[in-house]
Structure 1
Amino acid sequence: MNAWQDRFDRRLMRSMAMPLAKLERGEGSRVWDDTGKEYLDFLAGIAVNALGHAHPVFVEAVSAQAAKLAHVSNYFTTEPALELAERITRLAGAGDAGRVWFGNSGAEANEAAFKLARLNNSGGARTRVLSLVDGFHGRTMGSLALTGKAHMRDAFEPLPGGVEHIPATIEALEANIDDAVAALFLEPIQGEAGVVELPDGFLETARELTHRHGALLIVDEIQTGAGRTGEWFAFQHAGITPDAITVAKGIGGGFPIGALVTFGRASSLYSKGQHGSTFGGNPLATAVANAVLGEIERAGLLENATRRGRQIGERVAALESPLVAGVRGRGLLIGIALTEPVAAAVVAEAMHGGLIVNAANDSTIRMAPPLIIDDDDIDEFAARLGNSLAAVAATL
């Protein structure tokens, strides 16, 4: 154990694993550790650093706003908060009825959405909240109750009640959605499950059934939002309008921020005093998010996500590795399915070779690179991943 690992082990809560490295700085799609070693970052802080590291737009936004006003509490508002609320509702297609609640993380956004679901209970008959098996919505008590992974929940039971986890099938939707359901929570792509897309027609069916029975359709866009899949939000690929979405991660480009965005009648469910956050919507976070989303729009990074995602899939297939079973995902949220449960070994080899990727589970490599990646980055990625796969395959 080296010096920084010893410091981490002594003082950081053991709810977290030992970090893979101690990083010192970043630029674009690259980071450097405390030894000076360079890595190509194809994880981007788990789909957070949409513009990569130290992007001039991000740096300028932080510096300029910090020099003016960083925090005011929720007794006041500021121009960045108003601008961001208007921007997000426009990008989401929420229309004149769209509203936003700001928090500081994805878990907080999902907590706000969970409370929204409870408010959709006129007459007290809507006692059920549905979410999907293998879905992930956060680690706070409410968001964990929504999470469809028993091994994450078991140590913390009893969790907030009324949540049922159903399979991600159209048959399960048809069998479970009735007039007692207050809301259905789902991720359009299940990132923590291994970048697993929902079945064809699932979102459309979910929308039709929830609308018919008066339930809210709440789409968790925390990992899929901010242009990562080639649309501003992944639900837009299906051409539907949800009742609410939760967003975080990429909208701040590395600065902590989360939000609940409501559509239509869901925008009228909250009333004064029912929810809040001291830091939520602070001028520093909202100014940075405005700058990040503005740059994604200005630079055409939605189109880049679509094009580069397609390139990555083609390059992975061209490796012809016996360990690669296929590629899943959309845009720049990508999962490489493996033929053997060796994802952790591939990630370790990749780190050794200067490439940062992630093992979503034993048989899936997850990638969520910055939206700014280019041809040179993809060439380097393919070479380093190919070497890592070959090294692991040679041990089997």
Structure 2
Amino acid sequence: MTSATRPVPRNSVEEPVFRDMCRRFAAAEAEPRWEQADRERAFPRDFFRACSAAGLIGISAPEAIGGTDLGCVEEAVCMEEVARVNPNLAVSILVQNVANALLYFHGSDVHREIAQRNITGECLLAIAVTEPEAGNDVQNVRVSARRDPGGDWIIDGIKAFITLGGEADVLVLLAQTDRSQGRRGMQFFAVDRASPGLQAVPIDTYVNRPAPTYRIMLDQVRVPEERRLAAGFSEIMAGFNRERIMVAARWLGHMRHAQEWALSYARERHQFGRPIGANQSIAFMLAQNQVDIEAAHHLTYHTAQRWDSGAPIRDIIMDVSTAKLFATQAVLRVTQNALHAGGGWGLTSELPVMRMAMDALVAPVTVGSYEIQLRAIARQLGLPCD
């Protein structure tokens, strides 16, 4: 998804109307499912089908294959509103849309057929890039793909922290095809999860439970040449930049959720004969939360609008990294302040705020750590810090 080929939206909707639709969807489809999904540590497949029916899968894909041909702004609105109910169900939508864009915009007819089945709710996708020793360091991917005499590709290695890796029907997987070429020797493959030699092993995490995380073990997994995409390192980095905008929107929604809860609790909880929100210490803390939320909102949507304008990615990296960095820092402050407002009861399962604070802990390390964003910002300032 280079600057020249990344999708520029052809359709648009009135944001308030689209936001209201997404909010009603989240209330009807995400809210009733997430507690059970969190408790069982299982992804509700019917939620994916509901997202498909609502037109939230393949937001940037063309109408010709069932997409909506909308932009980054609309996708951010969707992400924010679903994350306002639960950020871990929201991330499943993010994964689908990033993987779908890779398949459609950098694939063949074979890949576009998979993208179309994803949009219709028939084919759940996962993105397999991260590895045990190559998280932020994508160019040091070790999973290898070698061509056998018959023309198929044989893939070996281990991926780690793959969201929905055990539930997905197809994994969009990055592998090293020619180590001598460095980052240019990487390509994506659309790999069936049911392929012989592929094993998905769950990773027990404290967060993202409704969207489980897996190790993907690949032992001589055979993939036909037609499943290889014309996409590699530059496309995944471009995709990461769009994904970072969605990450900012995800945590913006979670901030709003935590703040709404904290404000309600501060008005209802009484101590010393008055609501705790009447105490300056609590009131100022929640006022600071609102500053973080407003700042995150403006940074996120300014960046989404710039993306939709078609500006070269190199010209908006500063915006992307700033929005992602700020939102993932702010969500920790906002949820910790909400937890503090809950007092001792906030540490119990009788209130939801501890779950909110725990969910936010993943924010600093998703799709590029704090340090990666600071490095990108520093380089945009003319400060080489390699």
- Superposition TM-score, scaled by structure 1 size: 0.26
TM-score by length of 2: 0.27
Question: Comparing both chains, which one has the higher relative contact order based on Cα–Cα distances under 8 Å and sequence gaps of 6 or more?
Answer: 1
Select the structure that is richer in helix. 2
